[in-house]
Amino acid sequence: MLAWSIYISFAGALVAALLPKGKPAAARWWALAVAVAGLAIAIADYATHMGAGREVIVDVPWVPSMGVHFLLAADGISRVLVLLTGIAAVAGVLFSWNVELRTNQFFAFYLALIGGVYGVFLSGDLFLLFVFYEIAIVPKYFLISIWGSTRREYAAMKLVLYSFVGSAMVLIGLLAAYTTAGSHSTTLAALAHAGLPVSFQMWCFPLVFVGFAILAGMWPFHTWAPTGHVAAPTAASMLLAGVVMKLGAYGCLRVGIGLFPHGLDPWGFSFIGLGSWRDVFAWLAVIGIVYGALVALVQTDFKFVIGYSSVSHMGFVLLGLMTLNQIGLDGAVLQMFSHGVIAGLLFAIVGRVVYDRTHTRQFSELEPMHLSRRLPFAAWAFVFAGVASMGLPGFSGFVAELQVLVGAWQANPWWTIVSGIGIIVGVAYIWRAMQKAFFADTLPSAHELESEHAHKFDPITWPEIAGVALLGISTLVVGLYPRILLDSIEPAVKALLAGGAQ
């Protein structure tokens, strides 16, 4: 059943492209229907497979001469991320309701991107995974370069080049693994059991891991992320932060750690305190957490703050992966979901609710606008999303980051201690953005009041309220009752760790 989420997204994209140009409403409702259908499938499947093990959905030979299968499979990790994709897809459509330029094409690219993302999360075959991964990159370019803003062509090109460099590294690793394993099959299960030599894993792991981690925003390969997020139209930056960065992290986990577990073994010597690739990537993740938070602290553009916060929060995912223990990996997967929802909400508020009304994202121009009074809905929503982002208990980010930090402490206490700085700065940059954008402490003059009265902002529309509610409830439910996801994540992580240990 889960496979239909892929099929209907691509079919939906095709239909959207064929819809008449002059009727944006039709394209909107069509995209919403397709996205809701995808979410419904994800929810239904999740509800019926809570805590279930790995399940093969479709398996047909695709390129028999190479042993490539069209193999779709799902375990707890995949199901959680498919659920996230469903939520993000619906929210993205809701926050794109005011797209008037070539609406049908916009949603065609949008749904194609969603289809590619579903495909990556459900692929059980390395070659198929790679194909979906590439499919997801192309629509991103068009979404940013046609419907984007600030330096959109530069940002789109930067993002695509980064993605393709990463893909090229992954492709080399993929071909090397395939030939080393004896050129029989490209399914993930077959490659994991092929007994790839340790010396091979040692060089192939970093290649593939970095290839995927570029898209997960790993420092110092992160610079595409802030510029890309800022240039992208609201829905695209929501998807970029919400699910596309997770593609990278998912690849790191499923392919990097799943296929080359011995790549994380100690080198046998140590260089400036680093004794394995694990140490290297864990420290890069820790640096990313602190660095992203610090850069977010001094931005003058509202959206850049959120863009850099993504780099910081994705650092937690990568750090969780490098703990290689149950609780750290649980936290990493949960953080993928949590950040997907929270970052989506933040980008939606900044890009759609605020920017489309104020037409500026500069704090210096937002400060005299008294937005807390004029856009109380935006202020409330941002406070909600902000405290979720800084990891307040009761929201999903707290459970996820806590688990990562506990897991990291078990692996190396210094990782946790240094990351702690990132959390403190995380509170500071959200607070600063909140105050500068919404709660600047000046009373309006009579003249300002008059002009504010004359130029009222457009009222908040129902799709915005629905989108904020969807994302807000998601983070709250997971924060209050994390077992709803952890019950699925835990067995899947356990199986992955056991598979990697052999």
Under the rule (CB under 8 A), what is the footprint of another protein? 158, 220, 222-223, 226, 291, 294-295, 297-299, 425, 428
Spatial separation of the C-alpha atoms in residues 126 and 59, rounded to whole Å: 13
* Residue number with CB closer to another protein (288 or 344): 288
Helix, strand, or coil (residue 61): strand
* Residue number with CB closer to another protein (235 or 297): 297
Q: How far is CA 498 from CA 257, 266, 452, 457, 501, in A?
A: 12, 19, 62, 56, 5
- Minimum distance from CB of 51 to another protein (Å)? 34
Spatial separation of the C-alpha atoms in residues 206 and 252, rounded to whole Å: 10
Spatial separation of the C-alpha atoms in residues 76 and 487, rounded to whole Å: 8
* Residue number with CB closer to another protein (298 or 473): 298
* Residue number with CB closer to another protein (260 or 283): 283
- Minimum distance from CB of 435 to another protein (Å)? 15
Cross-strand bridge partners of residue 58: 72
- Minimum distance from CB of 222 to another protein (Å)? 8
- Minimum distance from CB of 181 to another protein (Å)? 33
Burial 473-502 (b: 16+ CB within 10 A, else e): ebbbebbeebeebbebbbbbbeebbebbee
- Minimum distance from CB of 154 to another protein (Å)? 10
* Residue number with CB closer to another protein (52 or 406): 406
- Minimum distance from CB of 242 to another protein (Å)? 22
Sequence-distant (6+) residues with CB within 8 A of 316 are 285, 289, 331, 332, 335, 339, 400, 401, 404, 419
- Minimum distance from CB of 262 to another protein (Å)? 31
* Residue number with CB closer to another protein (13 or 295): 295
* Residue number with CB closer to another protein (223 or 270): 223
Helix, strand, or coil (residue 268): strand
Sequence-distant (6+) residues with CB within 8 A of 56 are 71, 72, 73, 124
